[in-house]
Structure 1
Amino acid sequence: MSQSFQSVCIIDDDNIYINLVSKIIELRRLSKSVLVFNNGKEALDFFLASLQNGGKIPEVIFLDINMPIMDGWEFLKEFSKIKNQGFSNINLYVVSSSIDSRDIERAKAIDIVSDYIAKPIKLNDFERILM
């Protein structure tokens, strides 16, 4: 199986989830590299720096909602302000253990969100997104 993307980004504070997703992506060769951030602020700082120095950006983001420092909702609000400055080709997926219909509807109503995926994410979801 060939690698579909150069880089995928995981924004999540759950190390077990991060390790699992990273390993699946690596074993299935779904991306050449995986960027990991433990909260929205770390990720936002990275994207802002990438804008300024022309750094490489991931094609896909998997974003958790509940994180410390800056949660997924706050990240989405701030990222939507800069998305059109060079990040228009990013596919952003909210991935959360929340099955609350209000969270799902709220995420899907945000135009920069490609889809909402409930944890645990399944292998066929990764393959559908990354192939």
Structure 2
Amino acid sequence: MKKLDIACIIDDDKIFTYVLSKQMKVVDFCENLLVFHNGLEAIKYLKPILESPEVLPDVILLDLNMPIMDGWQFLDEFVKFKVNKKITVYIVSSSIDVADHAKAATYKAISSFYIKPISRQDLANMLEQVSLS
């Protein structure tokens, strides 16, 4: 499996993002990691660089429940972007609500839904899925 250039975590839980970033290093997930604590921070970062695919993330790991701009609101903005690169979006949430899973399935941008905590095997599966697409 090939290591990704850039991965992005959008999650307000600082302990989770810290642990996930350490797991990513162990599985050699990516060269560079971007971390945003709400969807608005991520949108503000991504919007001005849309025309530069080399600095856009290959993968976004997105939480649903966050302050300021939650994952759903982020997705609603993100799908409006004209992106010159394939960006794989994974929902990474503690939600076991069937409605959240059903709603996620309506977004073409979402590749899979993972329930926290994320294991090293989950990360390996993500890497494998991205390398196949």
TM-score w.r.t. the length of structure 1 is 0.91
Within 2, Cα distance between the matches of 1:3 and 1:12? Answer: 25
1:23 and 2:26 correspond: no
Within 2, Cα distance between the matches of 1:19 and 1:25? Answer: 10
In structure 2, what residue type is equivalent to 1:106? K
- Residue equivalent to 2:112: 115
Gaps of 5+ in 2: 129-133
- CA 1:87–1:17 in 2, change beyond 3 Å: closer, same or farther? farther
Alignment root-mean-square deviation, CA: 1.4
Gaps of 5+ in 1: none
1:14 and 2:13 correspond: yes
- CA 1:40–1:87 in 2, change beyond 3 Å: closer, same or farther? farther
The question of whether the paired residues in 2 share the 8 Å contact of 1:3 and 1:32 is answered with: no
The question of whether the paired residues in 1 share the 8 Å contact of 2:27 and 2:123 is answered with: no
Q: State the shift of 1:27 in Å.
A: 2.0
- Residue equivalent to 2:46: 47
Question: How many pairs were matched up?
Answer: 127
1:98 and 2:76 correspond: no
TM-score w.r.t. the length of structure 2 is 0.90
- Residue equivalent to 1:75: 74
Secondary structure, counterpart of 1:92 in structure 2: strand
Identity of aligned residues (%): 40
In structure 1, what residue type is equivalent to 2:97? D
4+ residue runs over 2 A deviation: none
Q: State the shift of 1:87 in Å.
A: 4.9
Within 1, Cα distance between the matches of 2:103 and 2:84? Answer: 21
